[in-house]
Amino acid sequence: MAEFSNPNLQGQSGGGSGGGGDMRGLMAFTLLFLVVLLGYQYFFKPQQPPPPPPAAQSQSKPPNQPQPTLPAAGAAVQPRLASAPVLAVSPSVAATVVTTTTVENDNYKIVFTNQGAQVKSWVLKKYFDTAGKPLDMVQPQASAYFGLPLSLFTYDPALNEELNKKALYQVTATGAPPTVTGHVEVPATSALTFHYAANGLDVVKTFSFDSSYVLTVEAEVKRNGVPVRALIQWPAGLGDMEEFLPSSSTRSSIRTSALSQFDWSLNGKQDSEAVAKIGNNATLDLPYSYAAVTDLYFVAAFLPDTPDRATLVTLHNTIDLPRDLSDPNSEKKPAHVLGLAMGDTSGSTRLRLYAGPKAMDLLTSIHATGADGKPTGQSLEPLIQYGWLTVIAKPLYLALRFLVEHGVNNWGWAIIIVTVIFNLVLLPTRVLMMKSSLKMMRIQPKVEAIKQRYAHLKTTDPKRADMNAEMMELYKVEGVNMYGSCLPMLIQMPLFFAYFRLLQNTVELRQAHWYWLSDLSSPDPLHILPILIIITMFLTQFITPSPGMDANQRRMLAIMMPVMFGFMLWTYASGLSLYWGTGNIINLAIQISINQSHIGKEMSAIAARRAAKKTGVNPRTIQGKR
């Protein structure tokens, strides 16, 4: 068994070495005490509670739970009991109730909600829906499915849910404060800022306004201090898609959603794609000058401040609608809902948004960001697409608008006046056509003689090419242009299609009225103009001499052509019918006048002699019934 000796007893029996042993033991004991004391203070001192881990900070907070708040500066902090769990408190910025803020100028009235910091209503004051109410660019049914304008898009559905539906943002206004009803006037209030911070998220969205249709949008989302790529989105089409409204509502019969498309500009080159060809959730990191969702008359266009860092996501969804809108029980058919989201690859987005009509003056005045970082780039005018007929359609639009702005004050009358002027300009071509027809009638016996010489040949015989060569030589010698009678039609058809494109892409003609026509861009509700077109075309065809044409062929053209055009215009824009019907009336009057001239009388005499001659050869052919 080990023994423990008393050092004092050892010293007493140890002789002269006892004093040194006592001092060394005392020093060793003192040193050991200091080491223990310092070690205790070092290893066992009270420590501050550790901060919560990032995963805990990013967890979603249950709805309606009060947000944690920091103590005010200088306030006393009660000490915590040692046994109580220690929780970290992070900064929080959030509202407690849902509120709305209305921003209004001469062009629009926008209602923002702090729930998601997005737009509930975007009313255009100068444009109206079919029910006669100011048009709301927010389509309610589609937005209920796919989201509201100016909401945020990320690649995390749970985060989208929190940012756009759960988060209640605090709202501050730059300039004059909102009234007690949340109403602000532009430019008295030039910006609204929405801020939300909780659960590791920090979100700031700022909307700046002026007197135009253009808004500036800034957005930044951080999670645990790290930027999140969050895009500003316009997710659910445009408000004139009235086919989604309940069948009990006053609505248009046109499926506007089928005519929507995605438009964009890359490196100054504009392009577009029909809605049916657009994918869903396709990410495109390209230097877009602008990107837009458009239909015939309205547009929502994003113009990034830094095109080189632009990132874009296409949003294409569908909603099943009855194939026959007037019959809710008819077979369902998917209807397109096109949207897009745009942001900055850096995670901090700043862009401009134009949401409004496709009016030429407005779009021409809005420019994308240029190389100098200022709005000096390409304008939005290419969003008005007249196609290859732009060279005719644009001057035609300018002419119509000039008349409306300088005394006519009605687009229907402007169409009539321009049509009259155009037909008067074409009058010389109609005279040339009749002269060409007269020459054709004069040489018709020679033409028949040539045909008779080759009548024994089959149509597939190569020698029939000699017949055609002889006839062409005859036309050349006699100065006959075999296509002269088609010249007026060849000139009128490009204008016809230019009117068609004009009526489809000119917002001023939307809901423009003329007598019983309440909308020149929609079909004639009473079908008066298509019926007038059928009658006038038939009469004009019937009284126009047709040299060399078989009688049966002439009758067929006199009936089939009017019916074809009348049927086509039955369901097309009434403005197009107004143009074509006006032209038909003028052509009928001109043809009657030409028939009374010496050219017309000579043509009638030749036709009468030829008819009499044929009657003598074949009595069974009765030409008088034509």
Q: Which residues contact 599 (CB under 8 A, 6 or more apart)?
A: 431, 434, 435, 438
> Do 545 and 604 touch, CB atoms closer than 8 A?
yes
pLDDT at 184: 73
pLDDT at 503: 84
Mean pLDDT, residues 110-131 taken together: 96
pLDDT at 257: 94
pLDDT at 287: 95
pLDDT at 327: 86
pLDDT at 512: 94
Burial of 404 (0-12, 13-18, 19+ CB in 10 A): middle
- The mean-pLDDT minimum among 183-192, 253-262, 511-520 falls in 183-192
Mean pLDDT, residues 404-426 taken together: 92
> Do 452 and 489 touch, CB atoms closer than 8 A?
no
pLDDT greater than 50 at residue 121? yes
pLDDT at 14: 38
Question: Token pair for residue 155?
Answer: 């690649």
Residue 19: band (very low, low, confident or very high) from pLDDT cuts 50, 70, 90: very low
pLDDT in tens, 326-337: 888 899 999 999
pLDDT at 452: 86
pLDDT in tens, 310-369: 999 999 999 999 988 888 889 999 999 999 999 999 999 999 999 999 999 999 999 999
Q: Which residues contact 147 (CB under 8 A, 6 or more apart)?
A: 118, 164, 233, 235, 236, 339
The helix-helix angle for 574-595 and 528-543 (nearest 10°) equals: 20
- The mean-pLDDT minimum among 54-63, 165-174, 576-585, 612-621 falls in 54-63
Beta strands in 211-368 (DSSP E): 214-223, 226-228, 231-234, 261-266, 269-274, 282-284, 288-294, 298-304, 310-322, 332-344, 348-357
Residue 564: band (very low, low, confident or very high) from pLDDT cuts 50, 70, 90: confident
> Do 111 and 100 touch, CB atoms closer than 8 A?
yes
pLDDT greater than 80 at residue 137? yes
Residue 299: band (very low, low, confident or very high) from pLDDT cuts 50, 70, 90: very high
pLDDT at 614: 67
> Do 353 and 214 touch, CB atoms closer than 8 A?
yes
Question: Token pair for residue 212?
Answer: 């135009």
CB environment 184-211: b (16+ within 10 A), e (fewer): bebeebbbbbbbbbbbbbbbbbbbbbee
Q: Which residues contact 573 (CB under 8 A, 6 or more apart)?
A: 500, 503, 504, 509, 520, 521, 522, 523
Question: Token pair for residue 186?
Answer: 């532009």
- 6/492: higher pLDDT: 492
**Domains in the chain and their CATH numbers?**
100-385 (2.70.98), 392-443+480-625 (no CATH)
pLDDT at 74: 31
Question: Token pair for residue 285?
Answer: 């990191």
pLDDT greater than 90 at residue 63? no
CA distance readout (Å), 454 to 281, 443, 468, 551: 68, 18, 10, 22
pLDDT at 442: 81
Residue 37: band (very low, low, confident or very high) from pLDDT cuts 50, 70, 90: very low
pLDDT greater than 80 at residue 86? no
pLDDT in tens, 453-470: 888 888 788 888 888 888
End-to-end CA distance of the chain: 148
CA distance readout (Å), 327 to 252, 261, 321, 332: 14, 27, 10, 10
pLDDT at 145: 95
Radius of gyration of the chain (CA): 42
- Cα 84 versus chain centre, distance: 58
Question: Token pair for residue 103?
Answer: 């921003």
Mean pLDDT, residues 51-75 taken together: 31
- The mean-pLDDT minimum among 135-144, 537-546, 581-590 falls in 537-546
pLDDT greater than 90 at residue 283? yes
Mean pLDDT, residues 88-114 taken together: 87
Question: Token pair for residue 383?
Answer: 């969003």
pLDDT in tens, 247-268: 888 998 889 999 999 999 998 8
pLDDT at 267: 85
- 605/176: higher pLDDT: 605
State the chain's mean pLDDT as an integer. 81
pTM for this one?
A: 0.76
Residue 546: band (very low, low, confident or very high) from pLDDT cuts 50, 70, 90: low
Residue 605: band (very low, low, confident or very high) from pLDDT cuts 50, 70, 90: confident
- The mean-pLDDT minimum among 11-15, 97-101, 119-123, 460-464 falls in 11-15
Residue 219: band (very low, low, confident or very high) from pLDDT cuts 50, 70, 90: very high
pLDDT greater than 80 at residue 7? no
The helix-helix angle for 551-570 and 574-595 (nearest 10°) equals: 150
Alpha carbon distance 420, 32 (integer Å): 117
Q: Which residues contact 553 (CB under 8 A, 6 or more apart)?
A: none
Question: Token pair for residue 490?
Answer: 């060849």
pLDDT at 8: 34
Share of the chain above pLDDT 90, in %: 51
pLDDT at 48: 39
pLDDT greater than 70 at residue 78? no
- The mean-pLDDT minimum among 1-15, 229-243, 379-393 falls in 1-15
> Do 169 and 94 touch, CB atoms closer than 8 A?
yes
Residue 67: band (very low, low, confident or very high) from pLDDT cuts 50, 70, 90: very low
DSSP state of 490: H
Mean pLDDT, residues 468-482 taken together: 81
Q: In 162-249, where does DSSP find H-type helix?
A: none
Residue 485: band (very low, low, confident or very high) from pLDDT cuts 50, 70, 90: low
Which residues is 214 bridged to in the sheet? Answer: 354
